[in-house]
């Protein structure tokens, strides 16, 4: 009614211009006042569009940040809040702050060192799995006829051993085709194909270039739902320094759908 009162104040002070309840003039002015009233209400709420928890343009902001939609409105707002918080920076504190803003509040980042006096690097092979590729392991045979032995390592150098594991046994990068058959628990990059990351180097000078994501206590796994995995991996790859490989000490669990089995007996 604000603009209706504004318009009535502009009318001449005469009996013919009085706005009574049933006059056509009143109905006319009410019709004129509707458009600016709606416009004022919209403009007054534009401020709320600047915050992920209140914006009315959720889909537009998702497009702006390149976020793939998933879940209902609350989950979408949490994902948007994480992107909104990413103002720039690659310090561990900043990365952890953005992760928590994005809803991953039980995930913490840990540095590469196990001790600082003297500096001792953590061995990433202790917290990861060997990438397993394909439906069969590298066995010393070529991948096609006539399946002759002895030249598999010539044709498939990726099947050769590449350094000892923590128990002194050589690792074997079984990459006979490009199908990822297990979760190696570390990320180098992420493509649209199920391609394993390169093997972890056995050169200890490379160990400082690993970052660890897990529970608050190092060595414990953090727990996330399967539906959160893609968004989580995308976010840490985006935030982390490009020269680092990311160890993900995460246990992914199936999503739990909550059913309301309460019974309303008010109609009995």
Q: What is the pLDDT of residue 15?
A: 66
pLDDT above 70: residue 139: no
d(Cα 138, Cα 160) in Å, to the nearest integer? 9
**Does any domain span residue 149?**
yes
Q: What is the pLDDT of residue 212?
A: 97
Tell whether 227 and 148 lie within a shared domain: no
Tell whether 110 and 173 lie within a shared domain: no
Tell whether 241 and 204 lie within a shared domain: yes
Tell whether 115 and 137 lie within a shared domain: no
**Does any domain span residue 68?**
no
d(Cα 145, Cα 34) in Å, to the nearest integer? 80
What is the span of the domain harbouring residue 120? 90-129+183-256
Number of domains in the chain: 3
Most confidently modeled of 33-42, 73-82, 103-112, 229-238?
Answer: 103-112
Q: What is the pLDDT of residues 193-244, one digit of tens each?
A: 667 788 899 899 999 999 999 999 999 999 999 989 988 998 999 889 989 9
**Does any domain span residue 61?**
no
Q: Could you tell me what percentage of the chain is helix, strand and coil, using 3-state DSSP and rounding each to the nearest 5?
A: 35, 15, 45
Averaged pLDDT for residues 124-152: 58
Strand-pair category, 170-172 with 186-187: unpaired
pLDDT above 50: residue 73: yes
Tell whether 118 and 137 lie within a shared domain: no
d(Cα 197, Cα 66) in Å, to the nearest integer? 25
Strand-pair category, 132-133 with 174-175: parallel
List of residues 6+ apart from 238 with CB closer than 8 A: 86
């Amino acid at each position: 009614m604000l603009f209706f009162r504004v318009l009535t104040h502009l009318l001449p002070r005469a009996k013919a211009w009085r706005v009574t309840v049933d006059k056509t003039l009143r109905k006319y002015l009410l019709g004129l006042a509707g458009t600016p009233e709606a416009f004022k209400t919209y403009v007054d709420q534009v401020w709320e569009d600047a915050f992920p928890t209140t914006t009315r343009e959720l889909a537009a902001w998702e497009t702006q940040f390149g976020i793939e939609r998933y879940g209902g409105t609350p989950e979408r707002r949490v994902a948007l809040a994480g992107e909104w918080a990413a103002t720039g920076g690659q310090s561990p504190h900043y990365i952890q702050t953005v992760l928590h803003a994005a809803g991953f509040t039980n995930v913490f980042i840990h540095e590469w060192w196990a001790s600082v006096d003297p500096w001792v690097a953590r061995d990433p092979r202790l917290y990861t799995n060997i990438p397993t590729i394909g439906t069969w392991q590298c066995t010393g045979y070529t991948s096609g006829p006539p399946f002759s032995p002895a030249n598999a390592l010539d044709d498939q150098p990726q099947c050769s051993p590449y350094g000892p594991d923590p128990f002194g046994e050589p690792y074997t990068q079984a990459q006979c085709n490009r199908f990822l058959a297990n979760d190696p628990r570390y990320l180098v990059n992420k493509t649209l194909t199920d391609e394993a990351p390169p093997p972890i180097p056995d050169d200890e000078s490379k160990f400082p270039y690993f970052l660890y994501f897990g529970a608050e206590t190092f060595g414990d796994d953090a727990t996330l739902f399967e539906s959160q995995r893609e968004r989580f991996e995308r976010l840490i790859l985006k935030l982390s320094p490009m020269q680092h490989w990311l160890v993900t000490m995460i246990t992914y669990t199936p999503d739990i759908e909550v059913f309301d089995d309460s019974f309303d007996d008010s109609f009995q």
